[in-house]
Amino acid sequence: MEASAPTAPRVFHLALVVGGDLLDPAGAKLGRVDDLIVRLGEDEYPPVTGLLATLAGRQVFVPADAIDEIDHGRVRLRVRRLDLQPFERRPQEVLLKKDMLDRQLINVDGARLVRSNEIELARLDGWYRVVGVDIGVRGLLRRLVPRPFARSVGTTGFLDWASVEPFTGHVPTVRLRVPHPKLARLHPAQLADLVEAASHDEGEEILGAVGDDPELEADVFEELEPRHQREFVDDRTDADVAEVLARMESDDAADLVRELPDERRDEVVRLLPIVQRRRVRALLGYDPATAGGLMSPEFVCVFSQATPEEAINRVRTTQASAEAVAWIFVMNASQRLAGAVALVDLLRADADLRVGDIADVPQSITTEAEVEEIARLMMDFDLTVVPVVDGDNRLIGVVTVDDVLELVLPRGWRRQFGLFGE
């Protein structure tokens, strides 16, 4: 029997180990085994790093090096004296019975969620490790029948740990520290199915695990049903949503933007990279040849009481393009557009003045303005930037001259200059 052990190690059932006796090296009973501790992460088969036991009514931690042998119904120690220390979780450590048994797991090979009816252990490479879980009904049955009969109940639904990815979000302190490398084996559509089938927190954990690969995360998002997309978008900041949207196909991205609450939509679109932002805008129904499709939401707008220096500081720190900040816009106390001033005029302005004093009354347009109208306005008033306002005269974007030129330049010219050659 023992000779064949290296090739086919004996498998122990967790449920028959916990609740068993804790014995000293001589075989005398010291207490009861409550739970086994394993470390997830690096090893293919997570090693048992210790156990929890109750000795004389107190729960104590027994480190792995004090354990001699683990078997059904008993654990024998190799030391006579135990250093009685309370258990403190170290990173990546989980309690097998409390945190893993009866919980949902991902069967990576089947790309589906399963429930662990039993956790299987074996001695591998000199130490006790988790080798798999039992997802069959017999694993459950074994835990329901009296112990003397339990050992004769076989295993029908064994799943190798190599195919298992556990959820650890419910385990305190382990959160975010256990990588889920096996998920990378799955197709984005399979991951999306898992996210949809799992609870919200478990879904977050899956998305968090694939989040290291933004392309994959975006692919998974594309595959999610709108209802679930919304669920996960709600928890993310505008910047995070934009980051995911940036990598999605633009039509999927536009669909997701439509699902966003009104108050978030503009901000999220504003944070998209320019190419994706234009595509999304176009798909959202803005005609690309109108101000709504052409505008960039990145500009500098200050209150009229600001000093020129403050306004210039805003220009220094903004991400907006050089063309867009050629003009700085001014709003009144109720955030309505009240003026426009060229950056150059601002640089030359007296430091004692307020921006409101040097700004001119602005020429503004709405999102429906057509490109010809914008071009005419730019020519008539010598503008390189035209502000776009909403129905309440609030600034929502700017159209810059370069974008207008792109559309109004006659086709032949483009070829000649080779700038926009098609």
Partner 1 sequence: MTRTIGRQARLIAVVAVIGPGLIAANAGNDAGGIATYSSVGARYGYALLWMMVVITVSLVVVQEMAARMGAVTGKGLAELIREEYGVRWSMFATASVLIANLGICISEFVGIGAALGLAGIPVQISVPIAAVAVWLLVVRGSYKTAERVFVLMTIPFFAYPIAAILAHPDWGSVGKSIVEPHFQFNSGYIFLFIATAGTTITPFMQIYVQSAVVERGIGPEQLKAERIEVTSGSIFANLVASFIIIATGATLFVHGHRMVNDAADAARALEPVAGRFAEVLFGIGLLGASLLAAAILPITAAYVIAETFGFEKGIKHRPREAPVFVAVITVLIAIGTVVAIIPGVPVIELLVAVQVVNGILLPVTLFFVWRLSASKELMGEYANGPVFNVLAGLTVFATSSLSVLLLAVTFL
* Candidate list 21, 231, 267, 287; residue touching partner 1; CB under 8 A: 231
Tokens in use for 48? 């048992």
- Residue whose C-alpha is closest to residue 148's, from 50, 95, 72: 72
Q: Which residues contact 292 (CB under 8 A, 6 or more apart)?
A: 281, 286, 367, 368, 388
Check binding of 227 to partner 1 (CB under 8 A): yes
Closest approach, Cβ 227 to partner 1, in A, equals 5
For partner 1, how many residues bind (rule: CB under 8 A)? Answer: 24
Which residue stretch of 5-13, 132-140, 333-341, 354-362 sits at the interface with partner 1 (rule: CB under 8 A)?
Answer: 132-140
* Candidate list 10, 90, 115, 376; residue touching partner 1; CB under 8 A: 115
Which residue stretch of 213-221, 225-233, 265-273, 387-395 sits at the interface with partner 1 (rule: CB under 8 A)?
Answer: 225-233
Which residue stretch of 137-145, 176-184, 252-260, 317-325 sits at the interface with partner 1 (rule: CB under 8 A)?
Answer: 137-145
* Candidate list 137, 353, 379, 419; residue touching partner 1; CB under 8 A: 137
Q: Which is nearer to partner 1, 120 or 403 (CB)?
A: 120
Check binding of 223 to partner 1 (CB under 8 A): no
- Residue whose C-alpha is closest to residue 386's, from 269, 292, 256, 249: 292
Which residue stretch of 81-89, 201-209, 325-333, 404-412 sits at the interface with partner 1 (rule: CB under 8 A)?
Answer: 201-209
The Cα–Cα gap between 358 and 47 comes to 72
Q: Which is nearer to partner 1, 45 or 232 (CB)?
A: 232
Q: Which is nearer to partner 1, 262 or 422 (CB)?
A: 262
Check binding of 90 to partner 1 (CB under 8 A): no
Q: Which is nearer to partner 1, 100 or 272 (CB)?
A: 100
The Cα–Cα gap between 225 and 228 comes to 5
Closest approach, Cβ 258 to partner 1, in A, equals 17
Closest approach, Cβ 230 to partner 1, in A, equals 9
Closest approach, Cβ 247 to partner 1, in A, equals 24
Q: Which is nearer to partner 1, 110 or 214 (CB)?
A: 110
Which residue stretch of 68-76, 101-109, 340-348, 400-408 sits at the interface with partner 1 (rule: CB under 8 A)?
Answer: 101-109
SS3 for the chain is CHHHCCCCCCEEEHHHHCCCEEECCCCCEEEEEEEEEEECCCCCCCEEEEEEEEECCEEEEEEHHHEEEEECCEEEECCCCCCCECCCCCCCEEEHHHHHCCCEEEECCCCEEEECCEEEEEEECCEEEEEEEECCHHHHHHHHCCHHHHCCCCCCCEEEHHHEEECCCCCCCCCCCCCCHHHHHCCHHHHHHHHHHCCHHHHHHHHHHHCCCHHHHHHHHHHCCHHHHHHHHCCCCHHHHHHHHHHCCHHHHHHHHHHCCHHHHHHHHHCCCHHHHHHHHHHCCCCCCEHHHHCECCCCEEECCCCHHHHHHHHHHCCCCCCHHHEEEEECCCCCEEEEEEHHHHHHCCCCCCHHHHCECCCCECCCCEHHHHHHHHHHHCCCEEEEECCCCCEEEEEEHHHHHHHHCCHHHHHHHCCCCC
* Candidate list 201, 215, 251, 360; residue touching partner 1; CB under 8 A: 201
Check binding of 198 to partner 1 (CB under 8 A): yes
Q: Which is nearer to partner 1, 29 or 115 (CB)?
A: 115
Q: Which is nearer to partner 1, 200 or 415 (CB)?
A: 200
Check binding of 135 to partner 1 (CB under 8 A): yes
Q: Which is nearer to partner 1, 114 or 325 (CB)?
A: 114
**Inter-axis angle of helices 262-270 and 238-247, nearest 10:** 60
Q: Which is nearer to partner 1, 76 or 103 (CB)?
A: 103
* Candidate list 5, 145, 197, 419; residue touching partner 1; CB under 8 A: 197
Which residue stretch of 200-208, 216-224, 340-348, 365-373 sits at the interface with partner 1 (rule: CB under 8 A)?
Answer: 200-208
* Candidate list 5, 84, 144, 347; residue touching partner 1; CB under 8 A: 144
Which residue stretch of 30-38, 198-206, 266-274, 384-392 sits at the interface with partner 1 (rule: CB under 8 A)?
Answer: 198-206
Interstrand relation of 327-331 and 301-303 (parallel, antiparallel or unpaired): parallel
* Candidate list 234, 310, 360, 368; residue touching partner 1; CB under 8 A: 234
Contact between 190 and 111 under an 8 Å Cβ cutoff? The reply is: yes
Binding site for partner 1 (CB under 8 A): 102-104, 112-115, 117, 135, 137, 140, 143-144, 197-203, 227-228, 231, 234
